[in-house]
Homo-oligomer: A and B are copies of this chain.
């Protein structure tokens, strides 16, 4: 493996000149630039990013820590982040915390040790601790998490208002017992979702509170089980508000297993406008969050944070849209 030394020797110049030439500094004789580039190519020289970052005391890498890579919503967010980063010359490494606070902490530690320039974090819980990162001057942007204690930049996806709108819509369609299937307590997105649901329900008494709420890990299997459980109650719900796409897939499976038809028998509205939601019969009414824009915005916030490290923290809230389809009417 060739080093900058080898290139310098071959080109008959000093390592300083090689460095300058390869980094496009204008103060280098064109003839030398040419010799350096030729030598580098001949030796198949690849600059050592570790050494460069160590010396420069900065890296061109962001970490994006998300909770569930299986959820299509996150993958759209990831694209938004990536596009924003790439445009500014940063690479993004994706870390999947898998809803596991320990894994999350591990990835945050690695991010810190590898001295990434910034972290975009979808926290597994409101207890996730980022103070360590902040103290080490790593820029942090959180997604879907209200500020608490230390103020950090955040982009909020409108989970609460979206859940409120979705639930209200079900009530307006004449459903009387609307249940809610959402993620674990402490999970910011899940908490927001529940809060929005409760906003809407409080205005329309008739529910019996927690009997109609199920909090489970946000995967297909759990959505199925929670729905089966809800339907088995003495006084089962006649509608469901569901916090994400995988949970919704599980809920629909459960309805099918119980020979219930979405809409006619049990109204259902869910977060995440995944491609398949239009394919099921009846098509699924969804609350659509601007996933790509969330990612793009997070990238934007991170960039300006890197430019102005001591600026006041900003929060950007994006709106969610209700897309009415067949699953929310009889």
Contact = CB atoms under 8 A, between A and B. Distances in A.
B75 A114 contact: no
Interface string A109-142: 1101111000000000000000010011100000
- The secondary-structure label for the interface of chain A is helix
A44 interface: yes
Q: How many copies does the complex hold?
A: 2
Interface string A47-72: 11111011000010100000001101
A109 B49 CA distance: 10
A78 B94 CA distance: 11
A276 B54 CA distance: 47
A79 B94 CA distance: 12
A246 interface: yes
B70 A75 contact: yes
Contacts of A109: 46
B44 A54 contact: no
A268 to B, nearest CB: 12
Contacts of A15: none
Interface stretch (A157-165, A233-241, A278-286, A313-321): A278-286
Interface in A84-112: 91, 93-96, 98, 107, 109-110, 112
A275 interface: yes
Interface stretch (A172-180, A187-195, A248-256): A248-256
Contacts of A22: none
Given A49-B115, A70-B76, A114-B49, A246 B275 contact: yes
Contacts of A112: 46
B48 A50 contact: no
Contacts of A249: 275-276, 279
Nearest to A103: B86
Contacts of A225: none
B78 A48 contact: no
Interface string A244-270: 001001101100100000000000000
Among A78, A98, A276, A280, the most chain B Cβ lie within 10 Å of the Cβ of A276
Contact of A48 (B54, B95, B280): B54
Interface string A207-233: 000000000000010000000000000
Contacts of A49: 110, 113-115
Nearest to A137: B1
A153 interface: no
B93 A48 contact: no
A221 to B, nearest CB: 9
Given A48-B115, A252-B279, 19 more contacts: A1-B137, A46-B113, A46-B132, A46-B136, A48-B54, A49-B114, A69-B75, A69-B94, A70-B75, A70-B79, A72-B72, A78-B96, A93-B94, A93-B95, A94-B95, A246-B275, A253-B279, A276-B279, A279-B279
18 contacts: A48-B113, A50-B50, A50-B54, A50-B115, A51-B54, A69-B75, A69-B78, A69-B79, A79-B98, A82-B96, A93-B93, A93-B95, A94-B94, A249-B276, A250-B275, A274-B276, A276-B280, A281-B281
